C-alpha cells in the first residue's frame, strides 16, 4: 500500500470513528485534526469515496497579473 493510500485509510478511520462515537468533536480531537479539516474529509469522501481522501498534487498558481 502506498503512503498516500495509507493516509487516505487513516482519514477514513477518523470518519468511521466519528460515526461510531456519534461525536464529531471527540473524533477529530482524538485524531488531532481541525474541525474544518474533518468536514473537508467528510465532503471529499461523500463525493468521491476513498479516492476523495487521497491527497492530490498541488497545482502551482500562475504568476503574473491578468491586467
CA 11 and chain centroid, separation: 6
Distance, in Å, from the CA atom of 9 to the CA atom of 51, rounded to the nearest integer, reads 10
Question: With bands split at pLDDT 50, 70 and 90, how would you rate the model's confidence at 65?
Answer: low
Residue 41: CB atoms within 10 A of its CB come to: 22
Distance, in Å, from the CA atom of 21 to the CA atom of 33, rounded to the nearest integer, reads 16
Query: Is a pLDDT exceeding 70 seen at residue 66?
Result: no
Residue of 54, 67, 57 lying closest to 9 (CA atoms): 54
Write down the mean pLDDT value for the chain. Answer: 90
pTM metric for this prediction: 0.79
Amino acid at each position: 500500500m502506498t503512503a498516500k493510500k495509507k493516509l487516505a485509510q487513516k482519514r477514513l478511520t477518523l470518519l468511521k470513528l466519528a460515526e461510531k462515537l456519534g461525536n464529531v468533536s471527540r473524533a477529530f480531537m482524538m485524531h488531532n485534526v481541525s474541525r474544518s479539516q474533518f468536514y473537508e474529509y467528510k465532503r471529499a469522501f461523500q463525493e468521491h469515496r476513498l479516492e476523495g481522501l487521497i491527497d492530490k498534487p498541488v497545482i502551482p498558481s500562475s504568476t503574473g497579473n491578468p491586467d
